[in-house]
């Protein structure tokens, strides 16, 4: 299947709260904002003209401050909140317009939801909670206990099956919430601020848990969050919401590099870019490269580096695979020792380490700060992609922190 297969398509989705919501549309057409519409009609715009696609198997994060409409948006996807107008296509079928029986079937088989407040049934055991979706759709006791148990084991709670939810800690309760979703084997998981009620340590743990589960089974996850670090961590793509509008959709990197407006920019101000950027993103190819072949000698290498007014040169083979670093000093040393025809490799510096272009900047930082030369960045096949100097690194930090 095509990797970018849009499983959910949302088109021109609106939610307007209040009686006779049509009144708001003409004002919206006139370009009036949320506050003005409320002043004139008393209607509240929950979601305004949302259109986006979610691809199969990705974690799609809807991100915004409270009141930005993200919870309303996700509830329109399974119609816990009725859209005022617009379409939600799931595998080509319009959820917004289907009759209730069909919708209930979709909620049972294709979608599940994980809630901020966990929303576990206090009168049911952990196992009964995990199997709740299966009970509702009328599966046999045997089947639902088996599948419920399997889901609990997936989240590491097999031993707590016969406890009641209130006997568990918050993190464990949300694992039950996660298991309840996994047990029905849904096509799409809706997660509404699923980890926001947990303390930071447990939250990170749960994010890792989710990523681990994603590695095993690529599910489509639509994740609502107000926490940018969380969005960056787990999101393949992020939709930024403000005042009911979706202002930008893109990968974390795209949004970080080109924020659509001041709101998005403001959001990212506090973000530590080393979490989001990869070594490959900031590697510069402006450094001197020397392809090691027969015509290339110590002197020509020295000449090249001098002419570029640099101190170091990066030696590659013909396929541009990284071999080593030479410096003006190391080249001069070899030349002065009289072995003029010596190979370039004689002048290689010691202790040279490379950084993979897919490494987080955070992980690359120690290499960059430890050595005087710009650290070479290579891809999986050891092909040279550029290098990162301390200067480049600091500039990146500085620019994003502005």
Where do contacts with other proteins occur on this chain (CB under 8 A)? 78, 80, 104-109, 111-113, 115, 117, 119-123, 132-133, 135-137, 164, 180, 184, 190
Q: Considering the complex, state which of residue 104 and residue 266 has its C-beta at the smaller distance from other proteins.
A: 104
Q: Which is nearer to other proteins, 28 or 124 (CB)?
A: 124
Which residue in the block uniquely carries the two structure tokens 């743990």?
Answer: 205
Nearer to other proteins, 44 or 78 (CB): 78
CB of 233 to other proteins, least distance (A): 25
Minimum CB–partner distance for residue 189 and other proteins (Å): 11
Distance from C-alpha of 355 to C-alpha of 352, rounded to nearest angstrom? 10
Residue 69 or residue 324: which is nearer to other proteins going by CB?
69
- Report in angstroms how near the CB of residue 146 gets to other proteins at its nearest: 18
User: Which tokens belong to 315?
Assistant: 């030696």
133 CB neighbour count, 10 Å cutoff: 26
Question: In terms of CB distance, is 175 or 323 closer to other proteins?
Answer: 175
Helices (H), 131-272: 132-136, 141-154, 170-183, 200-216, 228-234, 252-257, 262-268
Checking DSSP bridges between strand 322-327 and strand 312-316, what pairing results, if any? antiparallel
What's the min distance (Å) between Cβ of 122 and other proteins? 7
User: Which residues have CB under 8 Å from 275's CB, separation 6+?
Assistant: 229, 232, 233, 360, 361, 362
Which residue, 68 or 78, is less far from other proteins as judged by CB? Answer: 78
Strand, coil or helix: 135: helix
Cα gap 180→112, rounded to integer Å? 8
CB 246 within 8 A of CB 51: yes
DSSP 237-271: EEEEEETTEEEEEE-HHHHHHS-SSHHHHHHHTT-
> How many CA atoms, within 13 angstroms, populate the side-chain half-sphere of residue 14?
18
We find the least distance from the C-beta atom of residue 152 to other proteins, in angstroms, to be 16
Q: Of 187, 193, 8, 177, give the one whose Cα is nearest residue 111.
A: 187
Least distance in Å: CB of 216 to other proteins?
A: 22
Q: Which is nearer to other proteins, 77 or 355 (CB)?
A: 77
Which C-beta is closer to other proteins: that of 78 or that of 225?
A: 78
As measured in angstroms, the least distance from the Cβ of 104 to other proteins is 5
Picking from 353, 355, 351, the residue whose alpha carbon sits closest to that of residue 385 is 355
Q: How far is the CB of 148 from other proteins (least distance, A)?
A: 13
């Amino acid at each position: 299947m095509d990797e970018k297969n849009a499983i959910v398509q949302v088109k021109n989705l609106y939610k307007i709260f209040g009686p006779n919501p049509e009144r708001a549309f003409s004002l919206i057409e006139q370009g009036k904002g949320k506050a003005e519409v409320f002043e004139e009609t008393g209607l509240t715009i929950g979601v305004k003209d949302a259109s986006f696609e979610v691809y199969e198997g990705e974690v799609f994060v809807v991100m915004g401050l409270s009141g930005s409409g993200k919870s309303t948006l996700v509830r329109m996807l399974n119609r816990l909140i009725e859209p005022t107008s617009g379409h939600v296509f799931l595998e080509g079928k319009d959820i917004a317009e289907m009759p209730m029986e069909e919708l209930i079937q979709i909620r049972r088989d294709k979608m599940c939801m994980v809630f901020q407040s966990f929303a576990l049934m206090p009168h049911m055991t952990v196992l009964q909670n995990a199997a709740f979706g299966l009970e509702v759709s009328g599966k046999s006791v045997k089947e639902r206990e088996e599948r419920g148990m399997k889901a609990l084991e997936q989240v590491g709670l097999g031993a707590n099956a016969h406890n009641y939810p209130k006997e568990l800690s918050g993190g464990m309760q949300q694992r039950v919430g996660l298991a309840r979703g996994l047990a029905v084997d849904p096509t799409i998981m809706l997660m509404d601020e699923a980890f926001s009620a947990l303390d930071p340590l447990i939250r990170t743990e749960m994010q890792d848990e989710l990523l681990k589960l994603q590695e095993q089974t690529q599910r489509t996850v639509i994740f609502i969050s107000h926490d940018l670090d969380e969005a960056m961590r787990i999101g393949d793509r992020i939709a930024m919401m403000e005042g009911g509008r979706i202002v930008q959709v893109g990968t974390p990197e795209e949004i970080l590099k080109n924020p659509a407006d001041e709101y998005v920019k403001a959001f990212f101000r506090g973000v530590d870019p080393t979490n989001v950027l990869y070594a490959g993103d900031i590697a510069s190819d402006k450094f001197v490269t020397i392809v090691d072949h027969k015509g290339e000698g110590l002197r020509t290498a020295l000449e090249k580096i001098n002419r570029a007014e640099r101190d170091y040169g990066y030696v590659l083979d013909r396929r541009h695979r990284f071999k080593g670093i030479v410096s003006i000093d190391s080249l001069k040393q070899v030349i002065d020792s009289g072995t003029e025809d010596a190979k370039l490799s004689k002048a290689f510096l010691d202790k040279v380490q490379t950084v993979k272009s897919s490494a987080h900047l955070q992980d690359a930082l120690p290499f960059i700060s430890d050595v005087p030369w710009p650290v070479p960045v290579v891809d999986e096949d050891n092909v040279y992609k550029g290098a990162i100097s301390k200067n480049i690194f600091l500039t990146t930090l500085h620019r994003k922190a502005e």
